[in-house]
Structure 1
Amino acid sequence: MPGKVKPEQLKADLVIPWIILGVMLVMLAALLIVCLTLGEQMQQPLPEAQRVLIRTIFYVVAIITFPLTNLIRYIQLRLNQTMPFSQGTVNEAKSRYLVTIIVSMSLIESVGVFGLVMFVLGDNVNTLYIFSGLSALGLFLYRPKVEEYARIVEGLTLTTEKL
């Protein structure tokens, strides 16, 4: 177990990251509700050839976003464990992990925005569902995890003991 921090404390420290995840899910749901409610009123159709090109670019960017987010998250988690610290260990771990969550959630939320853009440009609701579903999947994959946070606390505790 990492240092003297109890598992209950680790879970309690993740309240804000879980709130951020909740906000991202609410934003994704609001995006869907607005698009489905306003429907054709907000669409400004482009010619089919231009929409296909933009949709293809968005799909490629979405496909690249998932492994890129995973790589960035991995790098941030490793840096969180090994970077020198300036505050107390637990507070430092909380703030570092919060930044990691915000970055990964923001990158993945952008995939859902692609669906909104395509819907406004005149694509059908299926494209909106696909991008929103991908975004929701990414939010699930990159949700806050107690194990990741515990490794950060443990890494900072070990760094503190070595000094």
Structure 2
Amino acid sequence: MSSHHSLQHSNNDLKLHWTIAGLTLTTVAAYLIFCHVAGEQWRISLPEDQRVLIRTLFYVLAIIGFPVTNLLRHIQLRLNQTMPGPKPAKQRYLLTVIVSMGLAETVALMGLVIFLLGDDYNTLYIFTALSVLAVFLYRPKADEYREIMVALASREDDDD
């Protein structure tokens, strides 16, 4: 199989993966739109000291979330290549993408929550930007998918 054909095949295989990444960005955008259109009526004014505590906790979680997501992704990618079983590479990689996008969206959700607790738009925008950055960093990647396919194919060759 030519590398061009293999690349085309892997790009087609990742359509659902990219759809999930797109839906994650759509949800993040929906949080922003909601806050601008209807957010004011849902906001409560938590006392400043409580908001600062929650905001600080959320920032710490978001900052820790990046290396944790990276580590989880690394572990999942290795498991995708080595776990026994008949699951195809496409299905294995899908779980990796879903977990990564879920963690990326959690950052945006923290921004929404702290905004609804009375924080300003600036905090909402920071968490939104961090979430979009996470989607970019942990987006589906053809190289990762190809590595899984190659590892599974070489394992099948070893079984023969």
Which category describes the TM-score, using the shorter chain as reference length? over 0.9
Q: Distance in 2 between matches of 1:132 and 1:100?
A: 22
Matched, 1:155 2:139: no
Aligned to 1:117: 113
TM-score (norm 2): 0.95
One-letter code aligned to 2:35: C
Superposition map of 1:48-87 within 5 A: 48-87=48-87
Aligned to 2:122: 126
Percent identical pairs in the alignment equals: 54
TM-score (norm 1): 0.93
Task: Give 1:2 shift.
Answer: 9.4
Task: Give 1:40 shift.
Answer: 1.9
One-letter code aligned to 2:135: L
* Deviating 4+ runs (over 6 angstroms): none
Aligned to 2:96: 100
Aligned to 1:13: 13
Contact 1:43 1:119 in 2 (8 A): yes
Tell me, what secondary structure is at the counterpart of 2:119? coil
Change in 2 beyond 3 A, CA 1:2/1:84: farther
Matched, 1:23 2:23: yes
Superposition map of 1:131-150 within 5 A: 131-150=127-146
Contact 1:2 1:157 in 2 (8 A): no
Aligned residue-pair number: 158
